[in-house]
Amino acid sequence: MKTWLPHPHNRPKLLIVDDQLTNIRVLHELFREDCDVFMATSGEQAITVCQTQLPDLILLDVVMDGVDGHEVCRRLKAAPATQDIPIIFITAKQQDTDEVLGLELGAVDFISKPINPVVVKARVRTHLTLKLQYDLLRSIALVDGLTGVANRRKFDEDISADWRQCFREQKPLSLIMADVDFFKRYNDRYGHQAGDDCLSSVAQALSKTVRRPYDLVARYGGEEFACILPKTDHSGAVEIAEKMQKHVRALGIEHSASDIDRVVTISLGVATMTPTGDLEFKVLIEAADKQLYKAKKTGRARVCSVAMSST
């Protein structure tokens, strides 16, 4: 089978769902050399695997005891985290009405049993290629073209999703807002090209401070950046903010027009809270923004923070 992804180490994730182990073994043998294959023998197990592994494609049996394939499809398409995962139904049912129902539920294809290995391989290859193209286009749309970090759209999507996740798990959510000190003066003194280079360097310094895959550094607007830290308490967020400040200062970017230093510095505001059902994530953004304003009003090049009560 052809390699679907341009990088040989990025193997597609394929989930096979069937309550008959014989069918799973046949499909596993077809794809094990080219995909990271995950398996589930029930609808509930399939949903759990999808939530934890986020496969690139699902081969889903329709007729299963308990939660059947149609219900699995409904639930996955109703959840923001899994709604974009393509699903191919594999079933012994061959009526046109069955195929129409599957497509109406959101499946991308329909394969009848007994399977033809050549047909299955061809269709899986097609849909994995389409998924790759979709992911690439989406990633481009969510990246800030100047700095290479996430853009405002990606920030808005993630903070909303992280707020809901932390609410469900009752974990703290922290937000850092950062602003380059006297950036307008920097542009006036060194020119806009140098200003663009400065923002790009600052963005990379901020990104290197966070290590977990679900933390996000984004360009919030202009010379302002934001960092979302799910499941991070207040002290942990403040520690990260202080590291960000040090990393930016360590870049040593000359800023002779600054009132506080001879190099580029940043001011940071930090807010932390455990989400509740009667509040929206905008409360956290407003709190972090107020702390950033406080940092700028009290001398800049510093971190101000608040731990918010959920009551």
pLDDT reported for residue 5:
43
Left, alpha or beta for 257 (phi > 0: left; psi -120 to 50: alpha)? Answer: alpha
Please give the share of the chain, as a percent, with pLDDT higher than 90: 78
Domain match, 158 and 301 both: yes
Domain match, 181 and 266 both: yes
Domain with 201 in it? 152-307
How confident is the model over 196-235, as pLDDT tens digits?
Answer: 999 999 999 999 999 888 899 999 999 999 999 999 999 9
Beta strand 216-221 pairing with 224-230: antiparallel
Domain match, 179 and 300 both: yes
Which residue is it, tokens 């991308």? Answer: 108
Confidence of residue 258 (pLDDT cuts 50, 70, 90): very high
- The CATH number of the domain where 166 resides is what? 3.30.70.270
Confidence of residue 3 (pLDDT cuts 50, 70, 90): very low
- The CATH number of the domain where 78 resides is what? 3.40.50.2300
Last residue of a domain, one of 78, 108, 141: 141
Domain match, 156 and 299 both: yes
Question: What are the structure tokens assigned to 13, written together?
Answer: 């994730």
- Whether residue 82 lies inside any domain: the answer is yes
How confident is the model over 42-60, as pLDDT tens digits?
Answer: 999 999 999 889 999 999 9
- Whether residue 8 lies inside any domain: the answer is no
- Whether residue 270 lies inside any domain: the answer is yes
Last residue of a domain, one of 84, 117, 141: 141
Domain match, 170 and 46 both: no
Domain match, 110 and 72 both: yes
CA–CA separation, 151 and 135 (whole Å): 16
CA–CA separation, 122 and 99 (whole Å): 19
- Whether residue 7 lies inside any domain: the answer is no
| Average pLDDT over every residue of 268-288 | 94
CA distances from 214 to 19, 132, 217 (A): 33, 20, 10
Domain match, 120 and 160 both: no
- Whether residue 204 lies inside any domain: the answer is yes
Domain match, 108 and 206 both: no
- Mean model confidence pLDDT for the chain: 91
Q: Is 223 a catalytic residue?
A: yes
Is residue 4 predicted with pLDDT exceeding 80?
no
Question: What are the structure tokens assigned to 116, written together?
Answer: 């033809």
Question: Which has more confidence, 10 or 114?
Answer: 114
Domain match, 43 and 110 both: yes
CA–CA separation, 296 and 259 (whole Å): 12
DSSP 261-272: -SB--EEEEEEE
Q: Where are the beta strands (DSSP E) in 42-152?
A: 57-61, 87-91, 109-112
How confident is the model over 178-207, as pLDDT tens digits?
Answer: 999 999 999 999 999 999 999 999 999 999
Contacts of 79 (CB under 8 A, 6+ apart): 51
pLDDT reported for residue 310:
59
Domain match, 169 and 212 both: yes
Domain match, 159 and 287 both: yes
Last residue of a domain, one of 113, 141, 169: 141
- Whether residue 31 lies inside any domain: the answer is yes
Catalytic residue among 29, 33, 169, 223: 223
Beta strand 303-307 pairing with 224-230: unpaired
Domain match, 93 and 163 both: no
Q: How many domains does the chain have?
A: 2
The 3-state DSSP class for residue 209 equals helix
Is residue 311 predicted with pLDDT exceeding 60?
no
DSSP 4-55: -SSSTT-PPEEEEE-S-HHHHHHHHHHHTTTSEEEEESSHHHHHHHHHHH--
CA–CA separation, 64 and 43 (whole Å): 7
Contacts of 184 (CB under 8 A, 6+ apart): none
CA–CA separation, 52 and 30 (whole Å): 24
pTM of the model: 0.71
Is residue 9 predicted with pLDDT exceeding 90?
no
- Whether residue 5 lies inside any domain: the answer is no
- Whether residue 132 lies inside any domain: the answer is yes
